[in-house]
Chains A and B, each alone.
Chain A
Amino acid sequence: MEKIIGIWIAAFLTLCIYSFLYRDNPFYRFAEYLFVGVSLGYSIVLQIHQGLIPFAWQPFSAAVTGGSLTGLIKLIPIAIGLLFFAGLSPQQTWLIRYPSAILIGVTSGVAIPNVLQAHIFEQTRGTIGPFAAIHAGTLSGWGVFEAILMVVGVVCTLTYFFFSIEHRGPVKWVSKVGIAFLMIGFGSAFGNTVMGRVALLIQRVDFLLNDWFGTIF
C-alpha cells in the first residue's frame, strides 16, 4: 500500500512539473518549491548526520568526557571551524580570516600539484604523445591523421583565446580555424545534452505508463 501511495504522489508531481509545458501555473510552482525544499532539507540532514556528528560532535564529546590528549587535539580544528561564525558579530568579523586562510592555503597546497599533473601535464602528454608513436612507426594512417588533427585543433583553439596580440593576418585565420573546432565541440556537447534530456522524459513516461497505470489497470 505504501508503495502505491508513493507511486501516486510521484505521478502527481511529475504531471505538475510537465504542466509547465502548457503554461506556468500553481501546480508547477507547488511541485518546484517542494522539490527544492525537500532536496535542501534532505541534504542538510545528511550533512549533519554523515559529517557534523561523526567528525565534529562525537570527537568533541569524547574529548570533553574522556579528557584524553588525543581527543583534546581534535578540539583545535573544531575551534578553528567555529570561527566562521564570527561573521555574525560585526566586531569579531576579522576572526574569519584565520579559518579562511587555513582553508585556502590547505586547498591550494593540495590542489595545485594534482591539478597541474591531471589537467596540464597529462593532457600535454596526450596531445604530443602520439608523435612518438609516429616516429616509431607504430601508428596507422588514420592514427597519424588523428594525431595531426588534434595538434592543429589544440593550437588553433588556444590561439583564439590568446589576446596578447591582435588577431590580424595569419593569426586571424588560425583563430578562425580554432572557432570551427570550438563550434564542433559545442555541437557535440549540445547533441549529447539533447540525448540526456530526452532520456529523462522517456524515463518519466515509462514510469507513468508502466508503474502508475499499472496501479490503475
Chain B
Amino acid sequence: MLEKLMSIDRRIIFILVALAVILPTLIPVSMPISVSEPTQKLYDYIETIPAGGTIMLVFDYGPASLAELNPMARAIMKQCFAKDIRVIGLTLYAVGTTMGSTLIQEVVEETGAVDGEDYVFLGFRPGLELVILGMGTDITSIFDRDYNGKPLSEIPMMQNVTNYDQVDLLVDLSAGSLTEAWITYANVQFNLQIAAGVTGVIISQMYPYLQTGQLVGLIPGIAGAAEYERLIEAPAKGTLWINIESFVHLLIIGLVVIGNIAFFIQRRREE
C-alpha cells in the first residue's frame, strides 16, 4: 500500500485535479470572500478620484495570463465607468494589444461607455522605459493616434490630457516585471501614482513596493480579482473561479500531507 502510494502514477493526480475543477464548474458553489488590505486600498483610491478624472490602465500581459488579469481589468473598468472616470488603455507588451482592445470592447458592450469620451485605447509602442519617460513629457510624442488611427487631437477626452500631470492613477496589469519599470520611471521621475494587478507568480515581488507606498494598491492574482468583484458588487468570473480554485487547493494540500506522511513512514521503516 505504502509503496503504491509513493509510486503513484502522476496521471492519476492529473485526473483528480481535473475532477476538482470540472465538478465545481458544473455545480457552482459559493464561498465567502474576504477582502485583503492591498485590494481594498486600490478600490478606495479609485473611489477618491472625482468624476471626470483620468486613469491609465496598462495591459502588460498576454493570453497566458488572461485568466488572472482579465477579471481584474474588467472590474476596474466597470468601477471607473460607473464613477464617470475616464480610462486611457495602453500596453508596453506587444501581445497585450489584443488583450486590451478585446476586453475593452466587451466591457463597453456591458456598460455603454463611449469611445473617445469615456475611454480611449492607445495600443502598443515598443521601447519600454523610453515610452514611459516620453509620455511623462508629452503623450502625443509617443502616441499621436489611438489604436484605431484617430489623432489624439480629435479625441474629446484627450483634449486636456498632455502628460502624467493630468492622470490621477496608473494601474498596471502585469504578468512580468513591467510594474517595476512603471515604478522606476513614472513614479520616481514624474511622481505618478501607481497601482498594480499582478499574476500569482509575482505577487511576493510586489509587496515591498506596497509597504513603501510606491504602489497605492495591489490586486494579488485571481483571489484579488474575486475580492475586487466583491467590492464593486458585481460577481463575475473571478468569483466563480476562486471558488473552484479552493477545491483544487484542498486537493493539493491533501496530496502534500499524504505524500509527506508516506515519506516519513517509509524513511522510518528503512531506518
Contacts and interface: CB of A to CB of B under 8 A. Distances in A.
Interface of A: 21-22, 39, 42-43, 46-47, 50-51, 54, 107, 110-111, 114-115, 117-119, 122-123, 125-126, 129, 185, 188-189, 192-206, 209-210
Contacts of A122: 212, 214
B237 A206 contact: yes
A209 to B, nearest CB: 5
A54 B25 CA distance: 46
A206 B208 CA distance: 34
B95 interface: yes
Contacts of B68: 196, 199-200
Interface residues of B, number: 56
Contacts of A117: 184, 188
A111 B184 CA distance: 8
Contacts of B211: 126
A12 B92 CA distance: 30
B184 A185 contact: no
9 contacts: A42-B94, A46-B124, A50-B124, A50-B126, A51-B126, A195-B245, A205-B18, A205-B22, A206-B237
Nearest to B244: A202
Given A50-B97, A195-B222, A204-B67, 4 more contacts: A123-B208, A195-B200, A202-B241, A202-B244
Given A110-B133, A199-B241, A209 B188 contact: no
A188 B237 CA distance: 25
Contact of A206 (B124, B187, B205, B241): B241
A125 B64 CA distance: 36
Contact of A54 (B21, B133, B144): B144
Contacts of B180: 118-119
Contacts of A203: 66-67, 237, 241
The 7 lowest CB-CB distance pairs between A and B, nearest first, are A196-B200, A203-B67, A126-B212, A192-B200, A51-B126, A199-B222, A43-B94
Given A43-B95, A202-B245, A51 B25 contact: no
Contacts of B21: 198, 201-202, 205
Nearest to A118: B184
B67 A202 contact: yes
Contacts of B249: 194-195, 198
B125 A50 contact: yes
Interface in B202-241: 203-205, 208, 211-214, 220-223, 237, 240-241
Interface of B: 11, 14, 17-18, 21-22, 25-26, 62, 64-68, 94-95, 97-98, 123-127, 129, 133, 144, 180, 183-185, 187-189, 199-201, 203-205, 208, 211-214, 220-223, 237, 240-241, 244-245, 248-249, 252
Contacts of B129: 107, 110-111
A198 to B, nearest CB: 5
A200 B64 contact: yes
Contacts of A200: 64, 67-68
Contacts of A51: 125-127
Contact of B200 (A115, A126, A193, A209): A193
A106 to B, nearest CB: 9
B66 A115 contact: no
A88 to B, nearest CB: 22
A177 B222 CA distance: 32
A129 B240 CA distance: 40
Contacts of B240: 206
A148 to B, nearest CB: 15
Contacts of B62: 39
A79 to B, nearest CB: 18
Nearest to B245: A198
Given A125-B212, A202-B25, A202-B67, A192 B187 contact: no
Contact of A194 (B95, B189, B252): B252
A172 B241 CA distance: 45
B184 A114 contact: yes
Contacts of A54: 144
B245 A114 contact: no
B212 A195 contact: no
B221 A192 contact: yes
